[in-house]
Amino acid sequence: MNSFSNACSPALRTWAEISLSRIAANWRELRRAAGGAEVCAVVKANAYGHGAPPVARALESEGATWFAVSNAAEGAELRRAGIRGRILVMGGFVPGEMDAFFEHSLTPAVHSIECLLDLEQRAAAVGRPLPVHFKLDTGMGRLGSREPITDIAQAAARLRRIRIEGVMSHLASAADFESGRNEEQFGAFERAIEALRAAGFSPSIVHLASSAPVCFGIARALHQMVRVGLSLYGYAPEPRGAAPPLQVSLRPALGWKARIVEVKAIPAGAPVGYNARWRAARDSRIAVVAAGYADGIPHTLAGRGRVVAAGRPAPIVGAVSMDVITVDVTDCPRLTRGDAVTLIGEEGAARHDAADFAREAGVIPYVILCGIGNRVQRVYV
């Protein structure tokens, strides 16, 4: 793990500063708001760009006992990093991934009776039991079973080595408070759980909620466990409609900086970047900044995005290139080659977070955070 002092190294062109203490504080807030439900920390996609092993280790030291990933490889990475807690693999699986569940003690989410029976057969072949969580499709229309509840219960009763420990589902519009879709899914999920119990099958862990129900205090969604992702990293989902008051106070955990590789004066009318998409309306100073779309800056930010330079907002001008962006720093205090600008984060009173970047790019904060590339060194502070 890198120390904070590395952030000042002149050899770093672009880096993300990640506060594990802020992630831990967000975790404590979410655990409080979950009202006694087990809080499963979603660390898939490299912990939304924050670094899955360091984040999981920090949360395990806070008392986290459940983690969620997308696939078996992500789960195996956590085990190699020394994570001892339970690891839920949510993203489905192909036949070649099954052995990893047994080898690394992972808990797969199973989305059909067929997949359940495939795992039962594999468990018999390797001679090891395996707990799983069965996912129901209550309205997402993606992963999850739509098979009759009686068929699922009968299949569960025939299992010898696979144990259905949990039943889960996923809300399609968790932060939408005007469409009524959440209520439809709540009802469908509750009816399914009741039918399973009536058929003689009672899972010990029932879970439906992601970040939004926890952040906005939607008690009907909070069962034995909740799964928190975006909120863990400091962002409450943006609600649609008249949302209840936020029940948590969160702080973004990631700041992203990049160094200036050149500052140049250009006259009024001079073009900047590919295809001359921008021309200076006045004599200007342009900073060429060492981060581009290969590092995770969306191409759509051309002419729409901004950064913080010398404590002031500064617009991205011209096309976003693979390795650099160009920023108009005419109205900023003097900057020179090697100075850093803030892509995400705070400088004094100026703030520009991943949600701001997302609005400017026409995407969602998940895209910004998960898209920060491998060339951007993670520095833990």
Contact present, 325 and 289 (Cβ < 8 Å): yes
Residues of the chain with pLDDT under 50: 1-7
Q: Is the dihedral of CA 188, 35, 26, 110 positive or negative?
A: negative
Contact present, 248 and 214 (Cβ < 8 Å): yes
Q: What is the DSSP letter of 232?
A: G
Is position 264 annotated as part of the catalytic site? no
pLDDT of residue 8: 54
pLDDT of residue 311: 94
Who's near 248: CB < 8 A, 6+ residues apart?
Answer: 26, 29, 30, 32, 33, 214, 215, 231, 236
- Could you say which of 44, 48, 235, 257 is catalytic? 44
Q: What is the pLDDT of residues 6-44, one digit of tens each?
A: 345 778 999 999 999 999 999 999 999 999 999 999 999
Upper half-sphere CA count for residue 34 (Cβ side, 13 Å): 25
pLDDT of residue 5: 37
Is position 257 annotated as part of the catalytic site? no
Structurally, at CATH architecture level, domain 254-380 sits in Beta Barrel (2.40)
pLDDT of residue 348: 87
Contact present, 272 and 286 (Cβ < 8 Å): yes
Q: What is the pLDDT of residues 173-192, one digit of tens each?
A: 999 999 989 999 999 999 99
Residue type, 82: G
- Could you say which of 48, 274, 366, 380 is catalytic? 274
Q: What is the pTM of this model?
A: 0.93
Domain ranges of the chain: 20-233, 254-380
Q: Which two tokens stand for residue 142?
A: 């993606």
CATH 3.20.20.10 fits 20-233, yes or no: yes
Nearest CA to 352 out of 295, 323, 321, 309 is that of 309
